[in-house]
């Protein structure tokens, strides 16, 4: 059966308290965010001893770490800013096994100078794709060299933002150090959200073999508010990857608060990945029990 998990970053506490709270909610796996009130895991601060402390704390609470978050804008238009981001991502990749998982996840980013989430014309050019491809190939090799795997997460406004672009990237970076994070909500735009079941079938027909970890959030049209949306999750230092809730025509709320066909999603995913971790996201701490009840209900209803 699929495992219900959650990002650790939705809990703005110290390491031990975070693990206690997550286990108390009935989860049995986590995606690790390197962000705790009492452990410095910022760039240049990751050590084997710290990684062991984190790994053992979650293990002591029966919460194996299934993946590590490395989210950053890997194609940041400022070259110095890009180098800084990619360098930290590589640091995470090199240490992933010390944290207890070989998988490190990031989206591909955007060439926009103001936001990591909005579209930029260069994202959809051959030049932009080639810059991104070279970085991903390097990340895949770094991961392979350290017994890890870099997982690409597709997002519509990024360089790799569609099923076709994802397939193209895996064709051009055919490497054992590269895998896919499955989140079907990230493939939807205003032009295809009304063809949801068709897109879901397309995603799994073409990409299922690459999938290693899955996410659970939701998707819907944003209505009149087209602004970039961020939630207050109770942590002034929270990463934008956890506060982001959509931009433009599409909103990305917590699971059960949108239009995603979860029955079909779980059925298609389970065909080749019956025991995959399903990591809940895009929510506030107070909403976690509701979201977990929703996901547990869908898993039970679909026999997965």
For the chain, domains (ranges, CATH) are 3-301 (3.20.20.150)
**Tokens representing residue 30 in the block:** 């986590």
pLDDT band at 245 (very low <50, low <70, confident <90, very high): very low
Burial track 170-191 (b if 16+ CB lie within 10 A, e otherwise): beebebebbbbbbbbbbbbbee
pLDDT score at 249: 78
pLDDT (tens digit, 9 = 90+) per residue, 114-126? 887 688 999 999 9
pLDDT (tens digit, 9 = 90+) per residue, 69-128? 999 999 999 999 999 999 999 999 999 999 999 999 999 999 998 887 688 999 999 999
Edge to edge, the sheet with strand 244-247 lists 220-221, 250-251, 244-247, 229-230
Q: Distances in Å between the alpha carbon of 228 and those of 56, 153, 251, 260?
A: 38, 20, 9, 20
User: pLDDT over 90 for what percent of the chain?
Assistant: 88
Residue pair 6/295 in contact by the 8 Å Cβ criterion: no
Q: Whole-number mean pLDDT of the chain?
A: 93
pTM: 0.93
pLDDT (tens digit, 9 = 90+) per residue, 15-34? 999 999 999 999 999 999 99
**Tokens representing residue 248 in the block:** 């433009």
Q: How big is the CA angle at 200 (ends 110 and 76), to the nearest 5 degrees?
A: 5
Task: Quote the distance between the C-alpha of residue 149 and its chain's center.
Answer: 14
pLDDT band at 179 (very low <50, low <70, confident <90, very high): very high
Q: Mean pLDDT over residues 209-230, rounded?
A: 82
pLDDT score at 234: 56
């Amino acid at each position: 059966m699929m495992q219900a998990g959650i990002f650790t970053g939705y809990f703005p506490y110290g390491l031990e308290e975070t693990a206690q709270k997550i286990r108390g909610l009935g989860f049995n796996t986590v995606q690790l965010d390197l962000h705790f009130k009492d452990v410095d895991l910022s760039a240049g601060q990751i050590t084997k001893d710290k990684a062991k402390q984190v790994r053992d704390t979650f293990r002591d609470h029966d919460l194996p770490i299934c993946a590590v978050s490395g989210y950053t804008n890997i194609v940041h238009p400022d070259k110095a800013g890009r180098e800084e981001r990619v360098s930290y991502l590589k640091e995470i990749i090199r240490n992933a096994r010390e944290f207890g998982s070989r998988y490190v996840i990031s989206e591909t980013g955007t060439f926009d100078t103001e936001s990591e989430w909005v579209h930029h014309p260069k994202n959809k050019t051959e030049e932009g794709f080639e810059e991104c491809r070279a970085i991903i190939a390097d990340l895949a090799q770094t991961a392979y060299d350290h017994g890890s795997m870099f997982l690409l997460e597709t997002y519509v406004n990024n360089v790799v933002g569609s099923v076709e672009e994802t397939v193209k990237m895996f064709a051009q970076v055919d490497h054992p150090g590269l895998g896919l994070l499955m989140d079907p909500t990230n493939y939807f735009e205003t032009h295809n959200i009304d063809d949801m079941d068709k897109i879901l079938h397309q995603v799994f027909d073409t990409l299922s073999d690459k999938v290693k970890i899955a996410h659970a959030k939701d998707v819907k049209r944003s209505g009149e508010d087209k602004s970039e949306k961020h939630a207050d999750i109770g942590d002034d230092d929270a990463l934008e990857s956890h506060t982001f809730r959509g931009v433009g025509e599409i909103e990305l709320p917590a699971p059960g608060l949108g239009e995603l066909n979860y029955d079909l999603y779980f059925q298609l995913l389970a065909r080749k990945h019956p025991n995959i971790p399903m990591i809940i996201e895009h929510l506030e701490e107070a909403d976690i029990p509701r979201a977990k009840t929703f996901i547990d209900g869908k898993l039970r209803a679909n026999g997965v």
